């Protein structure tokens, strides 16, 4: 079968797989910040420096043994609080300890959550030039969390932190710049994304891939887009994983490789991404990258539909399943509905 002249049914089946980059990210289950995406941005927010599980939000331990930070990393939050407090009693300008207390209060780790006190500790740390505390203050000011909402102050804190190379701040500042719609801001946003991406911040890597794919703030370059999407995927970013799979399947910016694309789609589908689940269902239906399997196709179609992504073509194509096949597909779909990314 010619690649340029394919049957109408197959063409319909593959239509969704050739979705644009923006569409691929629509339903991905990435972790979100405590604020909504910047208006006008096609990108998704990075988990903030005060989001649980984001290790880069705290300054690294110094040359000396950092008992407080080590306890924090091991989940011994009360010990971390006690040790950080001791350090501040000895040295009130201990920026790392001040930031750690801010984090513990902000997340409610080992003590009652208190954003107001968290903001106070972050402010003291920021006064010592601590970039991670500055990044947290920037987002808290933008959110109005722990104090008055102040977009101007939030932007200023992010600017200061980004100037010190703090990757989370660089990413969030890039989102603000992209929201302006100005070409010069888009160019600066791309540079900030690169700083964050080189620090292996996965959502920034995905974001930079989108910019290269669209030619926004940087020259359009599908090869570079594919590379950044791959890096994002390798770092666990669901949107990047789906984007890279699309480029692989279509041979855009990277040699065409349908089986490899199918593996990326399947991995993202198993992690609960509805777009990927729909793509996997279509691939199982037409036998591209995956061996034809009507039960698997139906199961993934049902899983995607459960998340609100319906597909009339698949519904029609899989409508003649036997009662046993339908029962097995429904069981598989129910199992996959409980999968979390």
pLDDT recorded at residue 96? 93
pLDDT recorded at residue 60? 56
Q: What is the dihedral of CA 164, 99, 74, 170, to 10 degrees?
A: -30
Tell me if 260 is assigned to some domain: yes
Tell me if 322 is assigned to some domain: yes
Tell me if 302 is assigned to some domain: yes
Q: What is the CA radius of gyration of the chain?
A: 23
Residue whose C-alpha is closest to residue 72's, from 92, 95, 102 = 102
Contact call for residues 49 and 157 (beta carbons, < 8 A): no
Tell me if 132 is assigned to some domain: no
> HEC string of 284-322?
HHHCCCCCCCHHHHHHHHHHHHHCCCCCHHHHHHCCCCC
pLDDT recorded at residue 259? 96
State the DSSP string of 210-271.
HHHHHTSSS---HHHHHHHHHHHHHTT-HHHHHHHHHHHHHTSSS---HHHHHHHHHHHHHT
Contact call for residues 333 and 318 (beta carbons, < 8 A): no
pLDDT recorded at residue 175? 94
**Cα separation, 196 vs 231, whole angstroms:** 12
Contact call for residues 138 and 132 (beta carbons, < 8 A): no
**Cα separation, 92 vs 85, whole angstroms:** 9
pTM of the model: 0.80
Tell me if 329 is assigned to some domain: yes
The count of domains in the chain is 1
Tell me if 324 is assigned to some domain: yes
Token representation of residue 32: 């979100």
Could you tell me which residues come within 8 angstroms of residue 273 by beta carbon, excluding any fewer than 6 positions away? 27, 28, 29, 238, 241, 242, 341
**Cα separation, 174 vs 25, whole angstroms:** 18
Contact call for residues 271 and 253 (beta carbons, < 8 A): no
Tell me if 38 is assigned to some domain: no
State the DSSP string of 131-142.
HHHHHHHHHHHH
HSE-CB of 32 using CA atoms within 13 angstroms: 10
User: What tens digit of pLDDT does each residue of 206-219 get?
Assistant: 999 999 999 999 99
Q: pLDDT tens per residue, the chain (341 residues)?
A: 333 333 333 444 444 444 433 344 333 332 222 223 333 344 444 444 444 444 445 555 553 448 888 899 899 999 999 999 999 999 999 999 999 999 999 999 999 999 999 999 999 999 999 999 999 999 999 999 999 999 999 999 999 999 999 999 999 999 999 999 899 999 999 999 999 999 999 999 999 999 999 999 999 999 999 999 999 999 999 999 999 999 999 999 999 999 999 999 999 999 999 999 999 999 999 999 999 999 999 999 999 999 999 999 999 988 889 999 999 999 999 988 765 54
Residue whose C-alpha is closest to residue 149's, from 133, 138, 135 = 138
Q: What range does the domain containing 284 cover?
A: 1-30+238-341
Tell me if 289 is assigned to some domain: yes
pLDDT recorded at residue 306? 93
**Cα separation, 155 vs 176, whole angstroms:** 8
pLDDT recorded at residue 339? 56
Token representation of residue 52: 């649980």
**Cα separation, 142 vs 168, whole angstroms:** 14
**Cα separation, 188 vs 43, whole angstroms:** 15
pLDDT recorded at residue 59? 56
pLDDT recorded at residue 319? 86
**Cα separation, 45 vs 51, whole angstroms:** 12
pLDDT recorded at residue 7? 37
Opening angle at CA 198, ends 66 and 154, nearest 5? 75
């Amino acid at each position: 079968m010619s690649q340029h002249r394919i049957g109408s049914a197959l063409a319909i089946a593959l239509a969704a797989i050739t979705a644009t980059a923006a569409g691929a990210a629509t339903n991905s289950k990435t972790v979100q910040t405590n604020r909504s995406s910047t208006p006008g941005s096609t990108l998704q927010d990075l988990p903030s420096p005060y989001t649980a599980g984001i290790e880069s939000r705290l300054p690294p331990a110094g040359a000396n043994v950092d008992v407080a930070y080590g306890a924090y990393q091991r989940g011994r939050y009360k010990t971390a609080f006690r040790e950080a407090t001791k350090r501040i009693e000895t040295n009130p300008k201990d920026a790392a300890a001040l930031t750690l207390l801010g984090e513990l209060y902000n997340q409610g780790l080992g003590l009652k959550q208190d954003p107001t006190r968290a903001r106070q500790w972050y402010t003291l740390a920021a006064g010592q030039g601590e970039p991670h505390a500055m990044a947290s203050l920037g987002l808290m000011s933008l959110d109005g969390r722990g104090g008055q909402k102040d977009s101007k102050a939030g932007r200023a804190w992010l600017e200061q932190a980004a100037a010190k190379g703090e990757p989370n701040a660089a990413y969030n500042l890039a989102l603000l710049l992209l929201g302006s719609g100005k070409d010069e801001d888009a160019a600066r946003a791309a540079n900030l994304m690169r700083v964050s991406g080189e620090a292996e911040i996965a959502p920034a890597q995905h974001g930079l891939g989108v910019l290269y794919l669209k030619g926004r703030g940087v020259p359009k370059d599908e090869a570079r887009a594919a590379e950044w999407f791959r890096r994002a995927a390798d770092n666990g970013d669901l949107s990047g994983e789906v984007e890279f799979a699309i480029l692989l399947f279509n041979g855009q910016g990277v040699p065409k490789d349908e089986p490899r694309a199918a593996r990326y789609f399947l991995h993202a589908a198993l992690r609960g991404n509805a777009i990927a689940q729909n793509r996997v269902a279509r691939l199982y239906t037409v036998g591209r990258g995956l061996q034809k399997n009507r039960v698997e196709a139906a199961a993934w179609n049902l899983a995607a539909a459960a998340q609100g992504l319906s597909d009339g073509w698949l519904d029609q194509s899989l409508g003649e399943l036997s009662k046993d096949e339908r029962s097995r597909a429904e069981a598989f779909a129910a199992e996959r509905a409980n999968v979390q990314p």
